[in-house]
Amino acid sequence: MKLKDKVLVVEDEQNISNFISTVLTANDFDVLVAQTGAEAVSMITSHCPDLIILDLGLPDMDGVQVIAKVRTWSQMPIIVIS
């Protein structure tokens, strides 16, 4: 059994999040979705994704703040979308 790479999509706009998730799932990735910065930080610490796709404009905090929190303990790859 092959383990799938886990990707966390952090995007507050549902249609964009759905599109990215659909494309990643079709390409055999395990996809997690967060809609706020706080939810993203919680999911990052609990699920340790292999990659984060992060929108900078989130409703509760700036995406740069999410990056700063993650960088205090991890160097996991982050792709920023805006």
pTM of the model: 0.94
Mean pLDDT within 69-76 = 96
Element (DSSP H or E) covering residue 18? helix 14-26
8-67 per-position pLDDT tens digit: 999 999 999 999 999 999 999 999 999 999 999 999 999 999 999 999 999 999 999 999
What is the CA angle 42-27-2, rounded to 5? 80
| pLDDT band (50, 70, 90) for residue 2 | confident
C-alpha span between 54 and 10 (Å, rounded): 5
* 70/20 Cα distance (integer angstroms): 22
Residues in the chain: 82
Model confidence band, residue 82 (pLDDT cutoffs 50, 70, 90) = confident
Q: What is the pLDDT of residue 1?
A: 66
